[in-house]
């Protein structure tokens, strides 16, 4: 492990140089890794494992769209693709990658296949942390570990293919064999992590739910809508409002932040932009600080978990979700965005 100083705080991280793929393959050479669920994280993690030479099989409900996607991705029914219970029986490592609500629903069927010495793997601390709500309490004789990529399943795959990998956190909740940590890190390397940093199941889910509802998705969406609407209210065109709200951020500025940090981005904008940003950043921070405080408490006390399980367990949750997503898709801002994206140089027709 490397001791890295993050803003004055030293943390232990695991890099691919310290724990190379060859070592991960040696640790996992006798394991049969099963991916349970081929939805968000399942495709990226399973394909990366397969490409890295790990013995991996996939479990998914037959007849579903995700089953068809798995077949299209090269998984073979009866050979590397099975129903969920069958794959749980065959595997020694069960990567439980169904939705949080799906994990709760399927748990009684999966638990009976967790024989002594097997490994139960999560990419989210939700089901274990909120066990009073999910009922997911693993047997005491199995290892329980977590590798949580800090990005979407699509990014897990894309970053693997371009060689960069994606950062992941890792944790051991239960070490029944004495080898849980080594297996956990090996799995993290094998799914294509750029580096791994330690966490706990509880810390992972608290930070993850806060981040998703906050700056990563919820707050970002809301702030974009607020600025776009204000610009439109004062007569700015949809194209101008969208470019100033979204396009410049995603196609220029955020790439500079990702490249070398916020200070690098500031150094590469006009002095007028610098002055305005510095004058207004504290106002925005102080305005939203109470919202983030409320959000974190809602995550910590289980309110957000209850909402997730309630909403996503309803028979018509997919239809209701699609209605909400369609409201975003069909809003003027994102219809303008669709047209703006067509005008990007890479989309120009000869």
Q: Same domain for 223 and 295? A: yes
- The CA radius of gyration of the chain, in Å to the nearest whole number, is 22
Tokens of 160: 């693997």
pLDDT tens-digit readout, 147-162: 999 988 999 999 999 9
Whether residue 122 lies inside any domain: the answer is yes
Backbone angles phi, psi at 114, to 5 degrees: -90, 80
Whether residue 50 lies inside any domain: the answer is yes
CB-based contacts of 183, cutoff 8 Å, min separation 6? 27, 28, 31, 93, 119, 143, 145
CA distance 257 to 143: 38
Task: Write down the residue that tokens 């067509």 correspond to.
Answer: 342
Q: Same domain for 168 and 53? A: yes
Whether residue 206 lies inside any domain: the answer is no
Residues of the chain with pLDDT under 70: 1, 349-350
Residue where one domain finishes, among candidates 134, 169, 199: 199
Q: Same domain for 266 and 167? A: no
Find the domain containing 279 and state its range.
214-347
CATH number for 150: 3.40.50.720
Q: Same domain for 254 and 339? A: yes
Q: Same domain for 181 and 250? A: no
Question: Could you tell me where the DSSP H helices lie in the chain?
Answer: 21-27, 42-51, 65-72, 84-90, 100-111, 126-129, 131-134, 153-161, 180-190, 201-213, 218-233, 238-242, 248, 254-260, 262-267, 271-300, 303-312, 317-329, 332-342
Whether residue 205 lies inside any domain: the answer is no
Residue where one domain finishes, among candidates 199, 228, 246: 199
pTM value? 0.92
CA distance 167 to 48: 14
Q: Same domain for 180 and 221? A: no
Whether residue 209 lies inside any domain: the answer is no
Q: Can you give the pLDDT at residue 339?
A: 94
CB-based contacts of 97, cutoff 8 Å, min separation 6? 35, 36, 37, 39, 40, 41, 42, 45, 123
Partners of 57 in the β-ladder: 34
Q: Same domain for 256 and 179? A: no
Total tally of structural domains belonging to the chain: 2
Q: Can you give the pLDDT at residue 345?
A: 84
Q: Same domain for 10 and 100? A: yes
Q: Same domain for 133 and 256? A: no
Whether residue 297 lies inside any domain: the answer is yes
Q: Can you give the pLDDT at residue 155?
A: 93
Q: Can you give the pLDDT at residue 350?
A: 52
CA distance 105 to 334: 35
Residue where one domain finishes, among candidates 175, 199, 223: 199
Q: Same domain for 44 and 174? A: yes
Whether residue 223 lies inside any domain: the answer is yes
Whether residue 207 lies inside any domain: the answer is no
Q: Same domain for 86 and 111? A: yes
Q: Same domain for 218 and 195? A: no
Q: Can you give the pLDDT at residue 2?
A: 75
124 belongs to the catalytic site: yes
CA distance 97 to 103: 8
């Amino acid at each position: 492990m490397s001791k890295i100083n993050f803003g004055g705080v030293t943390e232990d991280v695991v890099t691919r140089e310290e724990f190379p793929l060859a070592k991960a393959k040696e640790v996992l050479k006798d394991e049969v890794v099963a991916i349970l669920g081929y939805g968000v994280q399942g495709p990226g993690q399973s394909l990366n494992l397969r490409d890295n030479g790990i013995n991996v099989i996939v479990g998914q409900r037959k007849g579903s769209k995700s089953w068809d996607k798995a077949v299209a991705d090269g998984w073979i029914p009866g050979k590397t693709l099975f129903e969920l219970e069958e794959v749980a029986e065959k595997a020694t490592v069960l990567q439980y990658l169904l939705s949080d609500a799906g994990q709760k629903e399927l748990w009684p069927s999966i638990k009976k296949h967790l024989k002594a010495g097997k490994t139960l793997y999560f990419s989210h601390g939700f089901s274990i942390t909120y066990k009073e709500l999910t009922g997911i309490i693993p047997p005491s004789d199995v290892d329980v570990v977590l590798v949580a990529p800090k990005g979407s399943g699509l990014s897990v795959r894309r970053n693997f293919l371009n060689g960069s990998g994606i950062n992941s956190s890792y944790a051991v909740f239960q070490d029944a064999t004495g080898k849980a940590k080594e297996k956990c890190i090996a799995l993290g390397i094998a799914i294509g992590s750029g580096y791994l940093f330690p966490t706990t199941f509880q810390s992972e889910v608290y930070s993850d739910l806060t981040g998703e509802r906050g700056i990563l998705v919820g707050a970002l969406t809301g702030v974009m809508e607020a600025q776009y609407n204000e610009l439109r209210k004062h007569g700015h065109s949809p194209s101008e409002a969208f470019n100033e709200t979204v396009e410049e951020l995603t196609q220029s500025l955020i790439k500079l932040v990702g490249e070398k940090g916020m200070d690098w981005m500031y150094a590469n904008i006009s002095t007028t932009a610098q002055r305005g940003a510095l004058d207004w950043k504290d106002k925005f921070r102080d305005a939203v600080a109470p919202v983030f405080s409320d959000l974190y408490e809602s995550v910590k006390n289980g309110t957000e978990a209850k909402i997730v399980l309630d909403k996503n367990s309803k028979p018509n949750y997919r239809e209701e979700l699609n209605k909400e997503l369609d409201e975003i898709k069909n809003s003027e801002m994102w219809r303008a965005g669709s047209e703006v994206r067509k005008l990007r140089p890479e989309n120009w027709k000869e």
